[in-house]
Amino acid sequence: MICLAQLVEQASHVQRLCPRYLRAQLTDQVKILDSQVEVKQQQLSDLSEFLRRRGDIEAEYARALDKLTERFTHKTKKKEQWGQSVCQVWSVLLTQTRLESREHAALGDTCCNTLTQRLTYSTEDTHRLHKKSKEVGIQMQDELLKVTTELQTALKTYNQYHTDCLIAEGKLKEAERLEERHTGKSADSVKKMERLMEKRHGRVQETQLKCTKARNDYLLNLSAANAAMNKYYLQDVSTLIDCCDLGFHLSMERVMKCYLASRWRIQKTEETGLKQLEAAVTSLDQGGDRDALLQQHDSAFCLPFRFNYHPHEGDQVCEVSAESQVRYELETRFQQLQSRLAAVTLETEESSGQQIPVVVESCIRFINLHGLHHEGIFRVPGSQREVNLIRDAFERGDDPLSDSECDLDSVAGVLKLYFRGLEPPLFPYDSYSQLLECVQIEGETEKAAQIKAIVSTFPRPLLIVMRYLFAFLNHVSQYSDENMMQPYNLAVCFGPSLLRGLDSDDAVARQPQVNDLVKTMILQHDIIFPSQSEQPGPVYEKHMTLEQEYCEPITEEGDGESEHLPKWEAVAMFDYVARSPAELSFKLGDLLILHSKASCDWWRGEVGGVKGLIPHKYISVLDGASLYFSPSGAISGILPKDTSTSRIYTTHFLNIGRPALFSELHPPPSDVKVIIILTSACEI
């Protein structure tokens, strides 16, 4: 049972909220539903206006297309040249335009009449449903308010009877106290007190019975009110909103589906017409049109007669002749030209075995040695003045890139400029369309196989240069985490220079396809191009100046030659995974031995007894008094030798892996504990 205090609290809560809050909330609900129907009617009105104006535009466009078609149909009929393939293209184009005009006229009629009429009906239905739903909703709200009013009445009755009960019980207790004081007095007083006690007991029983009935009535009304509130807010409100929206979304769906069907029909008609037009364009036949023209006008183009030789005044010679001396000079000159041509051809093919152009090989070698880590290589433009100087030096037969003083971006610009200036381009014109069709293939393996089938038909010199170039671009993309040149970025830089069509008008439209094709060839170059065993010739080497001895592990200690090599110590600042057999892999904090500089970006050195190339950007070279921390937190390095005792710092370094350079003159950071141990050791 609910305790008395809880009943009193609930009663006061209902008495406080029901009259004002509930009625105001129900009024707000009606206002919100009214505003929603206004929004829906405005949406239907706006959509109807849009479709009407769209229909007017479509109808006007259809009339314009129809006038255009009639005008040029009349012109082409006058020319009477329908036997030619060009006129056939005209016929297909005009037919396709006429069909397009009809479809747009049908769309305009649908928008102006059918769809707007449906929306008008939907507006009327929405208003009618809202009006009926509002009436039902107000009726449900009245029933809810009636239940809450009954609850308030029961609450007031219960409070009144409970108050009377408390008063009767108080009077009974007072009578009991008086009875105790009259004990031992006269018989009349005792009888009088007995009658009073009997009367008070009867009053208490009567008021308790009424209070119990009032409480039960209040509890029943409370349960009924809660049930009514739950039903209204959890079921009736949702049902009421659904009734207001009944048919609205379905009407919108049907209208938009009808509109979409008309648009899809127009698109399908256009696609069919474009395919027919493409077939007509493909069937353009210059030779056939020429033969048809000659046959149609046979009398105008037939051979009239043959000219005969008429000797002058008895001359009997009737053939071309020359003096023997002139004939000899002509034959001698002809033989000299043939010999010179053969010598020049042989010299071009065999001089120093140069199958890769000098400018291509020199620029790639320079970038290989100095620019693989250079951010924005091929994307950042170089100095135009330096580009011109390098290009002029190559044209004179010199190699200006024999030293490392040239600007990397300018060298990259020279390489791009060379391929951009090729005429015809590196990829033949007749393969342009075939290669771009390969882009539509979904699978990368199938796409690469189709590209390989096309590329394999190219002449051998082109194949060798392409194999060399794309292997180099693939190598550059392997360092994209540093140079920011992913395969797609390289394709954007090189695509327009390598692959061009005869028609420059569609170059911009087809540029995404060109970029995708070149990107695929960079990634799949080893599949697309033949290997050296399949096609002998020069191939790109990832490390052109690497000596073989730096790739072999050290098997003997105390090698006399290695003992005399200069050595520097370095610590790995980051993890590095070798990208080729010539490079070395290492972990953060590893100790490395450096022998010499291979280029501005590479060291020759060794890690764990294995020699190879070490990237400069991943290490920190230590001087004689430097210390560094390994990932475990311990110090490694070389301390300066001294006749006195040396100080070794044993630390707990919170920022693991961060190099620390400090000595007695430079104290360690605050987050490092330093324990100084005196020892005679000079090295850690």
What angle, 0 to 180 degrees and rounded to 10, lies between the N-to-C axes of helices 116-181 and 4-17?
140
Domain boundary among 496, 528, 560: 528
Task: Say what the pLDDT of residue 412 is.
Answer: 93
Q: Same domain for 470 and 617?
A: no
Would you say residue 516 lies in a domain?
yes
Would you say residue 456 lies in a domain?
yes
Give 419-442 pLDDT, tens digit per residue: 988 888 899 988 888 999 998 888
Kindly report the number of other CB atoms within 10 A of residue 520's CB atom: 21
Q: Same domain for 114 and 167?
A: yes
Q: Same domain for 83 and 149?
A: yes
- pLDDT-derived band at 522 (thresholds 50, 70, 90) equals very high
Q: Write out the DSSP string of 154-217.
A: HHHHHHHHHHHHHHHHHHHHHHHHHHHHTTTS-HHHHHHHHHHHHHHHHHHHHHHHHHHHHHHH
CATH number at residue 440: 1.10.555.10
Give 97-154 pLDDT, tens digit per residue: 999 999 999 999 999 999 999 999 999 999 999 999 999 999 999 999 999 989 999 9
Q: Same domain for 390 and 515?
A: yes
Q: Same domain for 464 and 601?
A: no
Would you say residue 643 lies in a domain?
no
CATH number at residue 591: 2.30.30.40
Would you say residue 458 lies in a domain?
yes
Of residues 57 and 661, more confidently modeled: 57
Please, are residues 162 and 214 in contact by the beta-carbon 8 Å criterion?
yes
For residues 410 and 270, give the distance between their C-alpha atoms in angstroms, rounded to a whole number.
Answer: 49
Give 377-415 pLDDT, tens digit per residue: 999 888 888 998 999 888 888 888 876 678 899 999 999
Task: Say what the pLDDT of residue 680 is.
Answer: 32
Domain boundary among 604, 621, 638: 621
Q: Give exposure, 348-377, as e/b (b: 16+ Cβ within 10 Å).
A: eeeeeeeebbebbbbbbbbbbbbbbbbeeb
Phi/psi of residue 479, nearest 5 degrees: -105, 25
> Hey, which residues does 653 pair with through a beta bridge?
672
Q: Same domain for 581 and 489?
A: no
In terms of Cα–Cα distance, which of 222, 239, 219 is closest to 231?
239
Question: How many domains are contained in the chain?
Answer: 3
In terms of Cα–Cα distance, which of 434, 438, 370 is closest to 404?
370
CA 41 vs. chain centroid, Å, equals: 39
Would you say residue 157 lies in a domain?
yes
Q: Same domain for 414 and 468?
A: yes
Give 261-281 pLDDT, tens digit per residue: 999 999 999 999 999 999 888
Would you say residue 605 lies in a domain?
yes
Give 152-211 pLDDT, tens digit per residue: 999 999 999 999 999 988 888 888 887 777 666 667 777 777 788 888 888 889 999 999
Structural domain boundaries enclosing 501: 357-528
CATH number at residue 24: 1.20.1270
Over 90: is that where the pLDDT of 645 sits? no
Give me the chain's average pLDDT, please.
Answer: 79
Q: Same domain for 521 and 578?
A: no
Q: Same domain for 237 and 383?
A: no
- pLDDT-derived band at 256 (thresholds 50, 70, 90) equals very high
Q: Tell me which DSSP letter residue 510 carries.
A: T
Of residues 543 and 143, more confidently modeled: 143
Q: Tell me which DSSP letter residue 380 carries.
A: S
For residues 516 and 279, give the distance between their C-alpha atoms in angstroms, rounded to a whole number.
Answer: 27
